[in-house]
Structure 1
Amino acid sequence: MLVLSACGGSAEPPQAEPAQPARSTGPQAEQEPLTVPEVPDDLEERADEAAMADLAALAEKEAGRLPRAVRGPLEGSDISWPQCPRGQGIPERRTLGLPMPLDSARYVVMGLTNGPAFFPNPCLAEQVSWVRERGLLAGAYAVTSYPDPQTLAELGERGPYDTGGSGDAYARQRNVGYQQALFNITTMREAGLPAPMIWVDVEPVRDWEWSDDLAANAAVVEGARRGYEDKGYRIGIYSTAHLWAQAVGGLSLGVPEWRAAGPTSRAEALRRCGASYVVQGGPAAMGQWVEDDRDLNVTCPGTDEQVLGWFHRF
């Protein structure tokens, strides 16, 4: 199986994280309690305020900027909690102090989560400052994950989906996905990152594994998509065809795709732009590869007119 590198669950760079005791998984095993997320009661209001402020400022700032295209392929990087100084983060995802992007990077896509949903990247504000100081294009991605039973119980009734008589068996999962999006929007605002587009990372998330019900998993992703779009953001998908199908089956969103190639090469990442690597029915946007403990990216051919719409220009 391809191991992704955008910092979700199985995404940690190889040989970088210190060994940790494995969790027992047998039927009689006693499970260690997972860290419990704290989600504010006024999350919807916070997300509304964040989106209105940031998207309005972006629209005003970008209105007079021309041209709206770049000459690609354009190379960049992505970073998240593994690049934070060592020892931060939740116990299940302690940060690693991995290297920041190369000087040649033109853009940086920053992870909003510390692994699973509802846990913010502990040094996102510092990473945003790092990108701002260098005048780079700044993007955002966020891991979407299946809720633990407590989170499903607490947040399953909060959101736009009717859990009463609608006949939607997965309304609670959709509502939790919606809340994940709102949480990430507020995280961006607090860190000073007004990205116009958010890449939704769908991959295995260790300790917060996807359920065996693909339709339930797909409902979480669909809810997240609606949460972002309801607040005015565009979305793309980060995954591979295999891992997408493994998590959410045949769900098709038709949005731009950021496709992972693993520890290979720039040439192989560009190959991922081809029609053979379609993830969920959308156009190829970027290819990613891993080299020397860094996640490197390249924009796909034919995207020059779209690239600037994915990022904020400091």
Structure 2
Amino acid sequence: MAGYGMKMAGAFLVFLGLLVTGMAPGAAAPPPGDKDPVGNDVSWPQCGKTLPTGQAFAIVGVTGGLANNTNPCLAEQLSWAKSSTGGTSQPRVALYVNTANPGHEGSWWPSSNIYANANVPNPYGTCDSKGEVEGPVDLPCSYMYGYAKAYDDANIRGVTNPGTYFWWLDVETGNSWQTDKALNRATLEGMVNHFKSITAGKKDSDGKAAGVGIYSTGSQWGTIAGTVPSSSPLTGLPSWLAGAKTLRGAKSNCSLPGLTPGSPVTVTQYVSAGLDYDYSCPTR
């Protein structure tokens, strides 16, 4: 994340703790009194830090804070994640990626419907640069940007067998977005459609279904994406809700509405002692 977003907040708390104590963090078990199996999510802010042990499941960040870079500790953190014990409805190892729609302010913007030597089906029409280096910041090109970022996440960042994972889209206001929410939705739809295309019908080694879902808070999602039409591929995707400060709060958040119409809340997050913990909501 570019700024102190939801996951960055946990990294900042760890940093403050180090300043006060002058000590490196040790391995962390779930907070005292927690009897429910919980997971952890980690990414680049945890590079070089001792990671928790005994987690039921793990969600590892593939990108390094932006939609167009790589978590430098991805390989090590994926290896750690495989030690997860299981015992919940969540995959023992899942992935998450940063998302954004920077338009022409980004380091790259599409100029056509072609990416990775393939002509990408685009529900919004043709991303047409009309002879310019970059296409316009419109619905077709926004869709292509999202598709391209998801393609990169699955193919160039070091994930083996990407189609066997569950992928979460990390949607936060700390990244770059357009003021037109329809453009942002188009980018997220491009990402979703690519991840759906590679995960359809596939399962991980434990038999848990691969797929795609959305991580955010209701407030941030509303600011970025707004109301999702029923025809959108974002409709009905599982929701991973941030914002709780305790396990009790995370459990309570399982009863909140999902981020899109028909979306089940399957995971909720809370922060304790500078670490992100995740609760697997009961299936409904």
Give the TM-score normalised by the residue count of structure 1: 0.64
Distance (whole Å) between structure 1 residues aligned to residue 108 and residue 70 of structure 2: 21
Q: 1:163 matched to which residue of 2?
A: 127
User: Is there any run of 5+ residues in structure 1 with no aligned partner, and where?
Assistant: 19-71, 86-96, 304-314
**Contact preservation (8 Å) 1:152, 1:176:** no
Alignment pair present for 1:145 and 2:146: no
Structure 1 position 298 matched with structure 2 position 267: no
Counterpart residue identity of residue 51, structure 2: M
Task: Report runs of 4+ in structure 1 exceeding 6 Å deviation.
Answer: none
Q: Distance in 2 between matches of 1:73 and 1:13?
A: 24
The residue number in structure 2 matching 1:83 is: 46
Greater relative contact order (Cα < 8 A, sep 6+): 1
Change (3 A) 1:155 1:259: same
Equivalent position of 1:260 in the other structure? 242
CA contact (8 A) 1:152 1:172 kept: no
Offset at residue 294 of structure 1 (A): 0.6
* Aligned residues of 2:65 and 2:98 also touching (Cα < 8 A): yes
Q: 1:42-191 counterparts in 2 under 5 A? A: 74-85=37-48, 97=49, 99-101=50-52, 103-133=53-83, 137-149=92-104, 151=106, 154-157=109-112, 158-159=114-115, 160=120, 161=122, 162-164=126-128, 169-187=138-156, 190-191=158-159
Aligned-pair identity in percent equals 26
Please give the alpha-carbon distance, in whole angstroms, between the structure 2 residues aligned to 1:153 and 1:128: 28
Rate the CA distance shift 1:230–1:296 in 2: closer, same or farther, 3 A: same
With over 3 angstroms needed to count, the CA separation of the structure-2 counterparts of 1:247 and 1:141, relative to structure 1, is: same
Instruction: Provide the rounded CA distance (Å) in 2 between the counterparts of 1:73 and 1:254.
Output: 27
Q: Is the alpha carbon distance of 1:301 and 1:196 closer, same or farther for their aligned partners in structure 2, counting shifts above 3 Å?
A: same
Contact persistence 1:156–1:173 (CA under 8 A): no
1:232 to 171, 179, 199: 199
Q: Is the 8 A contact 2:93 2:165 kept in 1?
A: no
Q: Distance in 1 between matches of 2:39 and 2:160?
A: 20
Cα contact 2:110–2:127 (8 A) shared by 1: no
How many angstroms does 1:271 deviate by? Answer: 0.8
TM-score norm. by structure 2 comes to 0.70
Q: What is the count of residue pairs matched by the alignment?
A: 225
Check the 8 A contact 1:73/1:299 in 2, yes or no. Answer: no
2:254–2:268 contact (8 Å) kept in structure 1: yes
| Gap change, CA 1:135 and 1:288, over 3 Å in 2 | closer
- 8 Å CA contact 2:37, 2:279 repeated in 1: yes
Cα-Cα RMSD? 2.8
Whole-angstrom CA distance in 1 between matches of 2:70 and 2:161: 13
